[in-house]
Amino acid sequence: MSRRRDLLGVVPFFVFVGIFLIIPTLVVAIGSFLGTDNRVTFDNVTALADGYIVQAFIRSILLSAVTAILGAVIGALLGYAVVTAGPDSTVRRVVTSACGVLAQFGGVTLAFAFMATIGLSGFVTLFLRDSLGVDIFAGGVWLFDLPGLVLVYTYFQIPLMVIVFLPALDGIRPQWREATESLGGSTWYYWRHVAGPLLAPAFLGSTLLLFANAFSAYATAAALVSQGSPIVPLQIRSALTSEVLLGRENIGKAMALGMVVVVAVVMSLYAALQRRTSRWLD
Amino acid sequence: MVGLVRRRARRQRIMRWVVVGVLGIVFLLPLFALLEFTTRGAGGKLSWDTWRVLFDWQQLSETYPVLWTGMKASFWLMLLSVTLTLALLVPTVVWVRLRLPRLRRLVEFVCLLPLTIPAIVLVVGLAPVYAWVVYFIGGSSLTLTFAYTILALPFAYRAIDTGLSAIDVRTLAEAARSLGAGWATVMWRVVLPNIRSAVLSAAFLTVALVLGEFTIASLLNRDNLQVAINQLGKSSATISFAVSLAALVLAFVLLFLLSFAGRGRRRHRRERTTS
């Protein structure tokens, strides 16, 4: 009896999550398999094989992979630099707060910041043109297309890497390095045989998280790209807002389901690597 | 050995300043460009007119009603989302720890679920749910609170869960109960004061999230700060670039203060145990 009463305590939470998280997910999942007449159909899912949707998925995956790898490598380097400064240092505090803002805040602000930097009348663009005679847009305005997205996404991937990789770097004990050195190991040997293998799972896991992050991002692309829909989130937007073609909404749901599948696969790999890391880095 | 350690420390210091310096410049450049763009006056002269408008709220609300509506909406959304997130999450997480330990995995899984579902996907599914919300309580922008609370769950859950792990909730609660305290008193006067910094960090993270959220508001056709900034970006870029920068700086200050709140508490506890 008292157990049943205990369960009442978690009812509000589960009701809320049910309405605003579980039902929307089901709407997407079920809607992907419904036609305009509300009958079960595989048309939406097979429509994913359309050339332009496949292209969008390939571009999204490519964009996410490239920016994840760039962000992971540079972010790990910055993370390591910060860790050498000690846990209570000002450098660390400033860098982690700045990273927190830049990783989470993203979106429209970042798009604007880059327009002001290397947009048509941006600060750097004008400086390069007027002072050095270099026109960065000689081959076309790439900022508002895929190359621009790579640049801006990398800008928020690096800070995210710092945040998610710092705990792993903190887990590395200085004693391990001293042990290597007292046994005659060089710096290179230490990184190759001690720190490298220990950090590898955490590094790979963080890279996967970065991939999922870029793959899910929408706001930056929406604010930056005004013409065409090169990546999946923008394709979903046009499917949702399309008033010309009816029945596109369920294709949008199918694309959304496709995104969930990709992110879910990546995140479960991440969770597996995370478990492996936490076995000895805690 | 000592020489080796000292040499390594020096090498690391040089490496640190090079890496932090170079990346610092790269990362500050776009922010500086925002500032430069908003202070570009006629004839290439420095002008603070845009920023003067930004801090003159009367004029701001008259000249840019869209922006003003968005700012107001985001302000209320911040308050409401923090309240709802904490009111929903703190009692649930504490209760599960105390009375229903078997549900812990499930609650954790549900809370981390929004990380796996991109916001753009959530919007697709939320659209019909919001049709009902509008039917029952109207279509105000403040209804976004519900969606934002979901988005904040992973971050808030982790913060609160970490805070609870650091104290022995069960013993504290049993002690209070045996002295005759009711559950409400246990919650309010025993548990909450002990996880204050965790609750604070959950609140700050939620605030940062609400300040920067664009996807859901924009696709559900609601107003918030980011939607207004994006809309104004097309007609009067300068003012919207200025607001962007101001919001970014505000979020940075919040998180920077947070880094002190967390550390201050830890140091406090260490001192207490050593004395």
Tens-digit pLDDT profile for residues B24-80: 888 888 888 888 888 877 666 777 777 887 777 777 788 888 888 888 999 999 999
Q: Residue B275: what pLDDT?
A: 39
> How far off is chain A from B130, nearest CA to CA, in Å?
9
Q: Residue B264: what pLDDT?
A: 47
A-B Cβ pairs (cutoff 8 Å, strict): 232
Which one of B107, B233, B252 has the shortest CB-CB distance to A112? B233
Decide if B20 and A91 are in contact by the 8 Å CB cutoff: yes
Longest CA pairwise span in chain A (Å): 81
Which portions of chain B are predicted below pLDDT 50? 264-275
Give residue limits of the domains in chain B.
1-39, 57-263
DSSP B103: G
Q: Residue A25: what pLDDT?
A: 92
Which one of B29, B89, B124 has the shortest CB-CB distance to A253? B124
Q: Are A119 and A36 in contact (CB under 8 A)?
A: no
Contacts of B88 in chain A (CB under 8 A): 12-13, 16
Q: Which residues pair with B40 in a beta bridge?
A: B46
Q: Residue A33: what pLDDT?
A: 86
Q: Are A6 and B99 in contact (CB under 8 A)?
A: yes
pLDDT along chain A (282 residues), means of 10: 77 94 91 78 78 88 95 93 82 84 79 85 78 74 82 90 86 82 84 85 90 90 83 87 65 87 90 76 57
Contacts of B5 in chain A (CB under 8 A): 178
Q: Are B270 and B256 in contact (CB under 8 A)?
A: no
Q: If one looks up domain B57-263 in CATH, what number appears?
A: 1.10.3720.10
Decide if B252 and A74 are in contact by the 8 Å CB cutoff: no
Q: Residue B262: what pLDDT?
A: 55
Residue of A nearest to B261 (CA): A93
Q: Residue B271: what pLDDT?
A: 46
Give residue limits of the domains in chain A.
50-279
ipTM, two decimals: 0.84
Residue written as tokens 């809370």?
Answer: B111
Which one of A112, A218, A233 has the shortest CB-CB distance to B241? A112
Could you please state the CATH topology (level 3) that the domain comprising A50-279 is classified under: MetI-like fold (1.10.3720)
Residue of B nearest to A269 (CA): B116
Q: Residue A64: what pLDDT?
A: 94
> How far off is chain A from B59, nearest CA to CA, in Å?
23
Q: Residue A154: what pLDDT?
A: 92
Q: Residue B217: what pLDDT?
A: 92
Q: Which residues pair with B46 in a beta bridge?
A: B40
